[in-house]
Structure 1
Amino acid sequence: MTIPTTAPGLPGQLLAESDTAYRKVAWRLVPLLFLCYIVAYLDRVNVGFAKLQMLADLQLSETVYGLGAGIFFLGYFLFEVPSNLILHRFGARRWIARIMVSWGLLSAAMMLVKSPTSFYVLRFLLGVAEAGFFPGIILYLTYWFPAQRRTRVTSLFLAAIPVSGIVGGPLSGWILKYMAGTAGLAGWQWMFVLQGLPTVLVGVLVLKYLDDHPSAARWLSRDERDRIAHDIAAEQAQKAETHVGAVLKSGRVWVLALVYFAFVSGLYGVSFWLPSIIRGMGVADPLQIGLLSAVPWACGVVAMYFVAGSADRHLEQRWHAALAALTGAAGLVLAVAMHGNQWLALAGLTLATMGILATLPVFWGLPTMLLGGAGAAAGIALINSFGNLSGFSAPFLVGLIHDATHSTDAGLYMLAAWLVAGAALVLRLPSDRASRR
């Protein structure tokens, strides 16, 4: 794990001491948070693999699937801001543990789906349970890392998204293929159980090992705690204390929410439909689909890390995010144009996934740089919850388009257009230097 060591203005000895402190923090927190997000994202999108068997077993249409996959985000949207305010007030350790235990149990309960109604209800409740997790972690990182170190740390956390695809794709394919019929359960039912219950155990780990603030971290020396507290306080002093009401009225916050909506549309379009797209390329075996789906996610890990590192080095987020989004759009267009050639289509999906994933850690450098106090908790949650409404709209619209045209091509073009719109919007924000003043 490489943590940025650039801290302008610090003399050599203090810089070395500061680097040591932040390296200890990173090694303590990031692996656990990384594991949390792997199981979170896997539980959120494994319905894309369940679709390969569940639709036929339950006689569900593509539109029903798209609505059920997306309705998760309605519950997520409604409870996101309250959840983050609770975390800010009462601490991350207990609240994140509660989130994980409840969503793990609900994810396992997806095995009980029998009809469209039960599918919709459980997906909605899963969104309610998980609400606040992601923005809570983004807020939590601002308690431990100042801005010049945070983008790359955020990228390490967000790398859990592609890693969940690398691990989850082959794992889901194996469960679908080899567990089907065991104890009278379908493969998709086993998948929900075997991927949901471990989340509960990870929630227990969070309760045991996570600390709410650096001041509670007894594994840091007093000097290290003081150094981190000084850095965070200095950064917070440059931000105005933002109140919740002001956040809701801020045009800049709503532009950020629209940008995130566009970027996440591409992400969830790929996440929920990648297995189906690969099957549409002529691959029938669930395990082979899982293995091929890991390729775009593996390349996405690399793209995320290097783009985030470049953004940290240059102290610039807007152009990095815009160019990554345009790369994602180009990859989606290439995937459609080459769908007659399995390998070129997969190359297009890989390029799209790399570009889309690279936007995420760079994007989150913008709101965390602008907002402070309770306003940061509310603003981050608002941006994330509004952006994740695309997790409702993108799968639903792609499903409708698929039912109408019997192809995902037009749906992928729609996602590409949203990414281009997001790139244009992010460039309308003030420059990074202006934002820091």
Structure 2
Amino acid sequence: MQVHLQQTALKSGQTLELAGSKSESNRLLLLQQLFPELVVDNVADSDDVVAMQTGLASGASQVDVHHAGTAMRFLTAYFAVCQNQTVVLKGSERMHNRPIGVLVDALRSLGAQISYVEKEGYPPLSIRGIWAEGGSIDISAAISSQYISALLLVATRFKKGLTLHLKGEITSRPYIEMTLSLLDELGAKTSFIGQTITVLPPVTLQQTHFTVEADWSSASYYYSLLALSPLGTTLRLGKYKKVSLQGDAALVRIYAKLGVETRFDAGDYIQLVKKEREQPAFDADFRDTPDLAQTVVVSCFGLGIPCTIRGLHTLKIKETDRLVALQNELRKLGGDLQITADSLTLSAKRQVVPAGQAIDTYQDHRMAMAFAPLVTQMDLWINEADVVTKSYPVFWKDLKKLGVQVIESK
């Protein structure tokens, strides 16, 4: 599907309620499978979460997660501790080129029986579930926090618990802290001191009812819309906690630098206000929040300010190489983006380009949604726009609610 976004000013004063966090949902779904007495409300309805639910409920000998990276990592750990069950875990062609060797090596050191079906270090995997006592292992922290979270979640099954010694600089630390916070609420005993994490399984469950907070990553696209809107434009989003487990709640701080003020009001709603002019340049390290980089750099492009973001080494192994994808698509719009293996630098200068450019999405949901806020400045076409179902299935419908002209075509 292609969508045509006709240049539109955002309708001020509207309210949207966004679906639950994908990250929280997938963690709680795995814990619910390990502890069936758990009740989880407001679970996200995205493709990634559906893939997780389907995989957890499957009794089949093969499980296909398609493009769902979180499900691939979490289910690898889950099936490794499912006794007397053998599963081949596979995904899309792109998934089979996303490395998983760090997680597999860690699980093998705990006694897991996992083999590579095709290419060493990559899915698909053949997993024979065992009972593991747990123990102490080393693991790289520099590649993906999802490897670490996967191990921490299944550590609740280990008689001796689990101690992880993290090697290297920690990437996406807030996602690890989210996992530990959920385990603490469950009743597990956890600690995170320096480069060492310890989890001891719960003796009794302290909490059995969880409500998933709305997704802060989904909110990022509306922060971008506000940043590119006239002064005084407002938008209300729900439902969000002032103290959130989600690392992407850093949006409040990040977009304050781009002219968007966040006000928390009664009932867990946030009011976004285009309050003041943005700063003359944006410079930040996104090591803890790399998934926000695409949205922020497009905001800076629309505002006409230079932007430098570091700490982006994980973006090269996402749904696509996001740094290259950003460079390609901003160039179509006259942008000058320079990239390295872990950073990007956007020049404030723009070239004049023909109107009506089509943005390619590279099977990456964030590419589609990150570029959409430019509708406040130009007509735009988004190719393969249905890719948003991976994390936000009703994104285009929600844009229409805000007065944006969205025309869909096959």
When normalised by structure 1's length, the TM-score is 0.23
Higher helix fraction: Structure 1 or Structure 2? 1
When normalised by structure 2's length, the TM-score is 0.24
